[in-house]
Amino acid sequence: MGVDGGAGNAISLSEIQTFYGGSNPISMSEYYRAASGTEVPNTRTDTTTNTGVTGLVAQGSSSGATAGSSLDGNQSRLTIDGANNTNVNATVGTGTIVFSASTTVSVTKDGGTTILEDQAHFRLDSYDFLDGSNEISATVQAGSGTDQGDFVTIATLTAAQASGTVGLQVSFQAPSGEGSGTSPPVRIRRGGSVVHSLTTSYSNGSGSAQKLDITDAQSGDIVEVQKTQSANTTGVFLPRETLTGNADKVYSAGSYAVAFRGTGGNDNNSGLDATLNFSTSGTVQYNSFGGGFTSISTSNTDTSVNTNTNVPTSGTINMDIFNAPGTASA
């Protein structure tokens, strides 16, 4: 809407002055568009309500629990900083995020535990950006003399499971007194070729765990674990949502449920820290946060809006342009 109702309407200098301000005698030089020094601004600041949220996530009540993970959201992100303890959040934190325009959402996993605890997740509209429950784990029992050395399949990868950065993990604990050595492998086989293999060392019954990150897994790859005669071997396949997070997802304007369940760590490895990043030309609003979320507060956010975009910053001004200035504001 322009000064006198929009393009095509008759307009006068006095109407321009009434709309934008100014003093007599009227001079058109007052009405160049500029960041400052004239009556016609480049931008205005709009305040959108309920566009930021802060709070805590309730944590487990068993020994060692702390107050919980911190929650911090604004127009460009929603961040959870996990508490430094060994508990999973007692209940899932839930809420609603409203996008006023199409939004691309990505996830950043900011440190924290290398592998998610199997109850931990960070999801929007049932899409798991991070989800520890999707790991595939199997413990292969020690074999007899006739079948030790055999490989046991724990997964045949789908395209979704193979995409992105994935991982293998192996853990093994030999019987006490066996001395030192190397565990049987967990491996990825593609047809007749072994493309990745992971082992771990042990010493006199003291086992260990190792993890390997992989970026070239393919659909149809076989994940398998080898039997040994002396002890059980645990092999784990880790899809990317348990390590670095799933791929970006585009959401149309609308309201979407968010759910978070975090996992703690220890003094050397803090709890799960993760951020949902929002790339949008519109606004982000937070509603109805509850469940495991406590101490919730919301805040307003000032947004800069380009205004009067058709009004020139110098040169000749056609007075009629003020009836179509592009988001007119005084």
Residue by residue, DSSP assigns 151-167 as EEEEEE--HHHHSSSEE
| Per-residue b or e along 235-258, where b marks 16 or more CB atoms closer than 10 Å to that residue's CB | bbbbbbbbbbbbeeeebeeeebeb
Quote the pLDDT of residue 65.
46
pTM of the complete model? 0.75
Q: What pLDDT score was predicted for residue 75?
A: 93
Provide Rg for the chain, Cα atoms: 30
pLDDT (0 to 100) of residue 113: 63
Per-residue pLDDT at 35? 72
pLDDT at 34: 86
Enclosing H/E stretch for 20? helix 13-20
Residue 193 has a pLDDT of 97
Q: Which of 142, 200, 141 is nearest to 168 (CA)?
A: 200
pLDDT score, position 63:
47
142, two tokens: 């020690």
Of 304, 301, 260, the closest CA to residue 80 belongs to: 260
- What DSSP character marks residue 247? P
Weakly modelled stretches of the chain, pLDDT under 50: 62-65
Instruction: Enter the DSSP assignment of 15.
Output: H
DSSP run (H or E) holding 33: strand 33-34
